Amino acid sequence: MPLVNMSDMLDHAYRHGYAVGAFDLVSLDFLEAIMAGAEACQAPVILSLAESHFEYYDFELAMAATVAAARRARVPVAIHLDHGASVDSAVNAIRLGCTGVMVDASTLPFTKNLRITRQVADMAHSCGVPVEGELGYVAGVEGEDAQKHPGAVVYTSPQEAREFVRQTKVDFLAVSIGTVHGRMQGEPKLDLERLEAIRQAVDIPLVIHGGTGLSDEQFHALIARGVAKINYYTALSDAAAARIGENFRTASGAGYTRLLAGVRTAIQDEVKRRIRLWGGADRTAEVLEACRPWQEVEHFIVYNLSGEAESHADEFKAIGRDMLARVPGVRRVVSGRAWQEDARYRHCWLIRFAGIDTITSYMAHPDHVAYADQYFRPHAGDRLKIDYVLD
Ligand code: 13P
């Protein structure tokens, strides 16, 4: 039961005074190293995939590997879209297997940020997926020198945060209190009083972006004030790059695999160091106990088509595969035809939902209603439908 409900995971961290690491992955080496680090520490972990990194890898292929890694894990795992830009990004991420999504509209004015975040939250919640919003602006770029991207930090206002959370109903809030993304010179100055005021105003798990470059004391101070998720990438990227540089210097003529030797260990060591510091180590049993498992659903339909409609079966199915796959919370749509000539039902739909909540939202979605009313129900009176919660 390694994939768990991310709200339950972060609520546990919030109530028990520790933070879960949300480590951005950009390759299989990162994925394996992050998982190995979490397993070695027996800690909950968030596998994070940032939309800003999608130019470096194929998100769909990476998600297939990420979901496989989460399923075979023995520690609690959530899979999160980091810095999603739009409703479409969130729908796509949920389709591919994310169990949490961030919508980052933090560069927009308050009312626009609020509107987009609320749209994403409404959609994701209808699929049972929790949402992280961001208010205020954390400058910098992950993996790069912070001073090369000096955009002005906009601090989160506690009053706006209260209104933002109330109106959007986000489950977690990313705040700006002085951290920046990327490599820094010296420690940043954190506005801890502001963080305390935000915590009191919203009382939901808070998220810190730009974890790289903070001191141990700063991490402890953040966690003591409601931070339950820490986003961390640049230090992992630097540890990997240092190892590759070292390999390049010491192994002349090394090829690709020799250049990458030891990279996973370097990333894993940094992951373990952070998990231990943030208080997540040795919590697997209590977190699994506190978290609902993440349960997908197979919407199973077998049916016969009446008279004339039988000759349009392939056409109707192709239209359905296209329309139904777009409904939020649908992970895949498969149609089929019975192999045996004398089967009780000639046709089937197998539609995989992200979770139990999607059963209701899918039935009510206009695309599903339109398809069912036009192409399915009038012709498929003889049918059987069951929603199976998958073990
Ligand atoms: P760093 O790259 O500074 O660790 O920040 C990571 C981050 O915030 C990803 O969202």
Mean pLDDT of 5-18: 98
- Whole-number Å distance, alpha carbon 148 to ligand 1 midpoint, is 15
| 256-298 residue pLDDT tens | 999 999 999 999 999 999 999 999 999 999 999 999 999 999 9
How far apart, in whole angstroms, are the C-alpha atoms of residue 248 and residue 259?
6
95 lines ligand 1 (CB under 6 A): no
How far apart, in whole angstroms, are the C-alpha atoms of residue 95 and residue 339?
29
Residue type for position 328: P
Asked if residue 152 has pLDDT above 80, the reply is no
Residue 208 is predicted with a pLDDT of 97
Residue 274 is predicted with a pLDDT of 98
Residue 252 is predicted with a pLDDT of 80
- Ligand 1 atom nearest the C-alpha of 24 is 9
- Whole-number Å distance, alpha carbon 249 to ligand 1 midpoint, is 28
| 321-340 residue pLDDT tens | 999 999 999 999 999 999 99
181 lines ligand 1 (CB under 6 A): yes
Cite the active site residues. 82
Asked if residue 144 has pLDDT above 70, the reply is yes
Q: Whole-model pTM? A: 0.95
Asked if residue 149 has pLDDT above 90, the reply is no
Work out whether strand 140-145 and strand 131-135 pair parallel, antiparallel, or are unpaired.
unpaired
The pLDDT > 70 percentage for the chain reads 98
Across the chain, mean pLDDT equals 95
Asked if residue 305 has pLDDT above 90, the reply is yes
Residue 187 is predicted with a pLDDT of 77
Q: What is the DSSP string of 68-96?
A: HHHHH-SS-EEEEEEEE-SHHHHHHHHHH
Mean pLDDT of 150-172: 92
Residue 146 is predicted with a pLDDT of 67
Mean pLDDT of 87-104: 98
Give the residue carrying structure tokens 């989160």.
Answer: 156
80 lines ligand 1 (CB under 6 A): no
223 lines ligand 1 (CB under 6 A): no
- Ligand 1 atom nearest the C-alpha of 234 is 2
Residue 151 is predicted with a pLDDT of 66
